[in-house]
Amino acid sequence: MNKRQLGKSDLYVSELSLGCMSLGTDVHEAQKTIEAALDSGINYFDTADLYNEGLNEEIIGKVLKGKRQDLILATKTGNRFEKGKDGWSWDPSKKHIQTAVKDSLRRLQTDYIDLYQLHGGTIEDNIDETIEAFEELKQEGVIRYYGISSIRPNVIREYVKRSSIINIMIQYSLLDRRPEEVFPLLKEHQISVVARGPIAKGILTNRPFSQMSNSIQQKGYLQYSYKELQSLRSSFEKELLQGRPMQAVALQYCLSSPVVASVVAGASSPTQVRDNVKALHTADLTTIELQWIKDQTKKNLYEQHR
């Protein structure tokens, strides 16, 4: 599988990465999915301390033990929770980050994290304190690099200006083109995008609309009504797909931007991993096809967090 450089770092990540949130809590089933990813050439695994209250990290640590040196592990911090208690609170403080990283290292059974990401962030945070926490962890050698997971333009701009982040993890698809607003800024500063949500809750697959969630059928998705989604996918089927799965076009659209280093696709079974990999290698979008997609879809801006 092709690999791309993550920001200005020496990390080269597979164009398709495994989003581990969907792995579930059965270690044996999760192991099958992770091994399918490894066999497919995926070297980048994304998790967070929040997923299943740390259990997701524990499972990854067990399965990947002994393979650590060949892989890039990314996890996240900033949401403080107590095991056994419902809910969590936002805490980007230096104290919490430096405590949370120790817990993640223990659960992942490793002595370093390749990419440690802030799992959110607001403009009201003490951003300098958060950055200081990450920088100190870099100096200590427990993390190699850091980034943020955020959709907020004002937060993204502050971290670009004030920190040494190498990536932004952000929801991005041909149905959610809002992140394209910050792509020129990220390209200028050699900061990569890690795209999550590339198939837009299953809309950008061949799944029948009758099987979509009640929320999508009733409210649509983002700026698209349900009827608009049906019409758009019909146009894709008639004018663009030419036998290719919709999922293939969705993944290749995200990767068509050089600022995107990897697309995070969740999977809960080996079959889903293999389907994602097959889709990635199926489509070969031309310049004309990319322009057609842009002409057919909406390029809206974030209304909040300006």
Phi, psi of 217 (to 5 degrees): -65, -30
Say which of 51, 146, 221, 253 is annotated catalytic.
Answer: 51
Q: For residue 211, what are the β-bridge partners?
A: none
**DSSP helix/strand/coil, 88:** coil
What amino acid is encoded at 120 in this protein?
Answer: G
How many CA within 13 A on the CB side of residue 46? 28
Active site residue 145: no
Residues 6+ positions from 232 with CB-CB distance below 8 Å = 224, 296, 297
Backbone φ, ψ for residue 291 (5° rounding): -65, -40
Cα within 13 Å of Cα(254), Cβ side = 34
The answer to whether 33 and 44 have CB atoms below 8 angstroms apart is no
The H or E element spanning position 299 is none
Instruction: Please say whether the beta carbons of 45 and 34 come within 8 A.
Output: yes
User: Residue 168 to residues 34, 172, 248, 275, 285: CA-CA distances in angstroms?
Assistant: 24, 11, 23, 26, 24
Other Cβ atoms closer than 10 A to 139: 9
SS (H, E, C) 180-207: HHHHHHHHHCCCEEEEECCCHHHCCCCC
Active site residues: 51
